[in-house]
Structure 1
Amino acid sequence: MTALGLGCAQLGNLWRERCDAEARAIVDAAWECGIRTFDTAPHYGLGLSERRLGAALADRPRAEFTVSTKVGRLLEPVDGGGDDLADGFAVPRTHRRVWDFSRDGVRRSLEASLERLGLDRVDVALLHDPEFQPDSALRQGFPALAELRAEGVVGAIGAGSKDVTVLARVVAECAPDAVMVAGRYTLLEQPARDLLSACAATGVSVLAAGVFNSGLLAEDVPRAGLHYEYGDAPAALVARASRIASVCGSLGTTLPAAAIAFPGRESVVSAVVLGADDAGQVRRNAALFAAPPPDALWAELGARGLL
């Protein structure tokens, strides 16, 4: 697993349509930048992300990359047309998502993912948003993943969520290999601090995702209209991000560079997983990752009560 990963929600047409060539260019740019960790899910574009990622990796040496996907939402065909924009993806609504963390549901989900990806195994399999059915996810879904790991169909297993409480339960009750923390250990907010400590104490790897808080930290100058939690960022958070950006500028760095570098400072974080709207953004993110801010930034943000 490379320390920088590509989050592949955009390959599923997150927020807007992208043609196959645009999606392929995102993956190609990531590969050119040395990224070998790719995270996807059936949820992303009703399977489109997995299909596009699989196609883009089909001619790459299998031993040279890591793929993670998720279970918990089965995709069932539907009639009726329309689109999936209510769930954030600009794709035709050909399927509906059905929560299912049962043993059969987990196995069916992974089987379908492997078919879409064109792979015979995935390196990481995660319970996706287990907070929606926590008892089923932890009591049925996780043991099902453990069976698949024993069979060699998956490598590491765990859970991915923006809910710190449910991830703490997974760590305490299930002994996962890894958890993906989405948007809860970022430059803007750190409610997952205790979770990271628990992971470090128990040998659980952390994948840090959502480090831009859905977009608010992705630009040098924060502004109204940028996303936070997949909606418009509140004015108070825009103001806070602007103050952080000002400190970054005074020390010769930028807000996105600091946002990318922040979670990776923790030794328990195995990879920082970043989405990208296009190939140019992949290259920008990789360049920022390779040139982290000065250490003085963290002390200065702390002194100003911004971290």
Structure 2
Amino acid sequence: MAHHNVLDRRPLGRTGLSVTSLCIGGGPIGSMPGNFGYETPAERGVATARAAMDGPVNFLDTSNSYSAGESERRIGVAIAERGGLPEDFALATKLDRDLESGDFSAERMYRSAKESQERLGLDRFDLLHLHDPEHIGFEAAMAPGGPVDALLELKERGVAAHIGVAGGPVGMLRQFVETGAFDVVLTHNRWTLVDRSADELIDSAVQHGVAVLNAAVFGGGVLARGMSSAGARYGYRDAEPRVVAAIEAIERLAAEFEVPLPAAAIQFSVRDPRITSTVLGVSRPERIDSSVALSTQDIPEEFWSQIADLAAPEDTWLW
């Protein structure tokens, strides 16, 4: 198997930024045992952030809310140690509602940005997303004086060079894409070997000149570790029998072609020309190089033609 650890760079839509085909996801850096099933000690989180900035990937994505700010704090330690972000390195974070009260007001958005600036030690962000707007819905998010207005104001003030929207339900994300306000859309768990529900959203984004980031290609872990060790969960919930059957069929095909399951899961996204960057949550420094190796490993074309039909049935997808 050939490995080449040079990642191609792709234009991030109309932003003028050029990012690697892989992006380090900052969720596990801050320790999210509820989502990922393991703890990340602080020193390992900081070491992972350091490795992210020193390695072959030039793009890191985090959020105000990951582990109540711990992801940003740890990344901030690594940034401070080196006196700032590396040149030509793009960092994205996200505006978050107050997770306790549910407050998603413009006021809360400004506070969220300020908290992120303080933890990360940065005045401005290359990319700032509105995070999980499904918690208030499209209309309320877009209402005058609402959270999107706050995000646009932060862009106007130069706090955010570019803005995006990151969330779950694909129909809602498509509404945001079609407003023309956003430079980037981030979808998760919905464009994977198992679940293809983001297909039309991704097409719409491409038509509107909006860059697509695709996260959670392992569906919360099962497509990295396999069914036997990860258990029957997909997208942070119990998988129903037909989803389990689809994952098992994918595992069998990967074994037959001697393709590591995580390589198939990553490359399903990376090889899609519509997707600018694939976001992989990383919890240990050494996982960065191993992820790059998986993303560049040779996989026969025949594997892809066979796997195309192995997604779970449409009515099991997350949408």
Give the TM-score range, shorter chain. Answer: 0.7 to 0.9
1:217 aligns with 2:223: yes
Alpha-carbon distance in structure 1 between the residues aligned to 2:309 and 2:189: 23
Is the CA contact 1:261–1:292 (under 8 Å) kept in the aligned structure 2? no
The one of the two structures with greater contact order (alpha-carbon pairs below 8 A, sep at least 6) is 2
Cross-structure match for 2:16 = none
The superposition leaves residues 108-149 of structure 1 with CA deviations (integer Å, 9 ceiling, x where unpaired) of: 110111111111111111111101102222232222212211
1:203 partner letter:
G
Cross-structure match for 1:137 = 141
Relative to structure 1, the CA distance from residue 255 to residue 206 in structure 2 (aligned partners, 3 Å threshold; closer, same or farther) is: same
Cross-structure match for 1:248 = 254
Cross-structure match for 1:53 = 75
**What TM-score does the superposition give when structure 1 sets the normalisation length?**
0.85
CA RMSD of aligned residues (A): 2.2
1:2 partner letter:
T
Cross-structure match for 2:184 = 178
- Shift of residue 227, structure 1, vs aligned partner: 3.7
SS at match of 2:177: helix
Relative to structure 1, the CA distance from residue 231 to residue 127 in structure 2 (aligned partners, 3 Å threshold; closer, same or farther) is: same
Which of these residues, 10, 18, 25, is aligned with residue 7 of structure 1?
25
> How high is the sequence identity, in percent, across the aligned residues?
34
Is the CA contact 1:72–1:99 (under 8 Å) kept in the aligned structure 2? no
Is the CA contact 1:164–1:192 (under 8 Å) kept in the aligned structure 2? yes
Which structure dedicates a bigger proportion of its chain to strand? 1
Alpha-carbon distance in structure 2 between the residues aligned to 1:201 and 1:67: 25
Relative to structure 1, the CA distance from residue 146 to residue 299 in structure 2 (aligned partners, 3 Å threshold; closer, same or farther) is: same
1:271 aligns with 2:277: yes
Relative to structure 1, the CA distance from residue 152 to residue 62 in structure 2 (aligned partners, 3 Å threshold; closer, same or farther) is: farther
Cross-structure match for 1:80 = none
SS at match of 1:288: helix
Is the CA contact 1:224–1:235 (under 8 Å) kept in the aligned structure 2? no
> Alignment length, in residue pairs?
286
Alpha-carbon distance in structure 1 between the residues aligned to 2:233 and 2:298: 24
Matches within 5 A, 1:97-116: 97-116=100-119
Cross-structure match for 2:66 = 44
Alpha-carbon distance in structure 2 between the residues aligned to 1:273 and 1:54: 19
- Shift of residue 19, structure 1, vs aligned partner: 2.2
Extract unaligned runs of 5+ from structure 2. 1-18, 314-319
Extract unaligned runs of 5+ from structure 1. 75-95
Is the CA contact 2:163–2:184 (under 8 Å) kept in the aligned structure 1? yes
**What TM-score does the superposition give when structure 2 sets the normalisation length?**
0.82
